[in-house]
């Protein structure tokens, strides 16, 4: 008769094992999957931050819907505390729409924003493809230079760019300042480093076997780029395009310097003129601000599903 020795387990170790088994069973749902720990505190904190973030916007909206006499006599929070006892009006929106010349300035903003979004996306996608799938000497050095350009603020480059545009206009007789191409060039140039970085990170996650199979079938780089890489990179392309569109649409600095006042001025420039010389038109500015928000809100909510997929690309392989 063979006796099999049993391992000696002390009572304390046995109890710890049983407790761990009980805890693991409690964390399992009925379907056998592990439960997520509740993050009630994190949810509360994020909710408070969201409310605080939207508070100034709420005050701006209430201000734009009240008569001017009430705005100058009481704070906007009084209307929030007594909404049914407050007089509401849409007159500031009508005044802002007329003063903005919205039909013209909307078109000018679109004429500046759309090309200034498409150009850096297209050029950066081609550059990111080269940095990802091409092998050439100094590739990492060039990419490091591109990353270094991300930290260059546009404010320190304004004077050289203006001097360059003036020299070009005096030499060729073609005046760029005051025209749409001036804003296109500036916005596209300063957007490309970030776009190349985002798109390269995304393209590195694409299956290399698919690219190699296309090469074995005789596809050129042009065909691979347009038929394979671009369709698979739509989330990253869309996420950057959204950011670029919102940035250019809401920009005032570049438009003020390179578009300047005149028939080509954009919405943000018109919004600034609503304030008046002595700041007496700030209620119209509040209403005009919501008029300028129409297009960004439509773009954001229509394409927001691409945000997370595009911006987190390349973080995990």
Q: Where are the domains of the chain?
A: 40-89, 94-311
Measure the CA–CA gap between 214 and 224, rounded to whole angstroms: 7
**Sites in the chain below the pLDDT cut of 70:** 1-38, 276-280, 306-317
Measure the CA–CA gap between 162 and 177, rounded to whole angstroms: 8
Alpha carbon 144 to chain centroid, angstroms: 23
Q: Convert the pLDDT of each residue in 8-24 to its tens digit.
A: 444 544 455 545 455 54
Measure the CA–CA gap between 131 and 124, rounded to whole angstroms: 10
**According to the model, what pLDDT value does residue 28 have?**
46
Is residue 234 within 8 Å of residue 226, measured between CB atoms? no
**According to the model, what pLDDT value does residue 185 have?**
93
Measure the CA–CA gap between 114 and 137, rounded to whole angstroms: 35
Measure the CA–CA gap between 100 and 295, rounded to whole angstroms: 15
Tokens of 273: 């003129």
Alpha helices in the chain (DSSP H): 11-26, 40-64, 68-73, 76-81, 91-100, 102-133, 139-149, 158-172, 180-203, 208-216, 221-224, 230-232, 234-249, 253-254, 267-273, 282-292, 294-303, 305-311
**According to the model, what pLDDT value does residue 290 have?**
86
| CATH fourth-level superfamily of 94-311 | MetI-like (1.10.3720.10)
**According to the model, what pLDDT value does residue 209 have?**
85
**According to the model, what pLDDT value does residue 311 have?**
58
Q: Convert the pLDDT of each residue in 77-128 to its tens digit.
A: 888 888 887 888 888 888 888 888 888 888 999 999 999 999 999 999 999 9
Measure the CA–CA gap between 307 and 242, rounded to whole angstroms: 8
> What SS3 state is found at 35?
coil
**According to the model, what pLDDT value does residue 192 have?**
93
Residues 6 or more apart whose Cβ sits within 8 Å of residue 26: none
Q: How far apart are the first and last CA of the chain?
A: 57
Is residue 100 within 8 Å of residue 274, measured between CB atoms? yes
Looking up tokens 């809401």 gives: 250
């Amino acid at each position: 008769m063979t006796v099999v020795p049993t391992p000696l387990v002390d009572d304390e170790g046995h109890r710890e094992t049983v407790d761990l088994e009980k805890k693991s069973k409690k964390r399992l749902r009925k379907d056998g999957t592990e439960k997520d720990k509740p993050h009630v505190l994190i949810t509360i904190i994020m909710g408070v931050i969201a409310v605080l973030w939207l508070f100034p916007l709420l005050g701006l909206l209430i201000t734009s819907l009240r008569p001017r006499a009430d705005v100058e006599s009481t704070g906007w929070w009084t209307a929030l505390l007594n909404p049914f006892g407050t007089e509401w009006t849409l007159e500031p929106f009508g005044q802002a729409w007329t003063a903005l010349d919205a039909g013209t300035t909307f078109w000018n903003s679109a004429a500046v924003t759309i090309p200034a979004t498409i150009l850096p996306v297209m050029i950066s996608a081609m550059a990111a493809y080269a940095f990802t799938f091409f092998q050439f000497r100094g590739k990492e050095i060039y990419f490091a230079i591109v990353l270094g350009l991300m930290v260059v603020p546009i404010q320190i480059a304004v004077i050289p760019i203006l001097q360059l545009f003036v020299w070009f206009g005096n030499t060729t007789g073609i005046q760029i300042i005051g025209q749409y191409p001036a804003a296109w060039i500036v916005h596209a140039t300063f957007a490309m480093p970030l776009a190349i970085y985002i798109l390269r990170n995304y393209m590195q996650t694409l299956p290399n076997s698919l690219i190699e199979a296309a090469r074995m079938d005789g596809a050129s780089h042009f065909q691979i780029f347009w038929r394979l890489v671009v369709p698979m990179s739509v989330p990253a392309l869309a996420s950057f395009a959204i950011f670029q569109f919102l940035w250019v649409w809401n920009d005032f600095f570049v438009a003020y310097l390179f578009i300047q006042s005149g028939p080509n001025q954009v919405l943000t420039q018109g919004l600034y003129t609503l304030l008046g010389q002595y700041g007496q038109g700030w209620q119209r500015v509040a209403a005009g601000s919501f008029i300028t928000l129409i297009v960004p809100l439509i773009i954001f909510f229509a394409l927001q599903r691409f945000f997370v997929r595009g911006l987190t690309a390349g973080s995990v392989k």
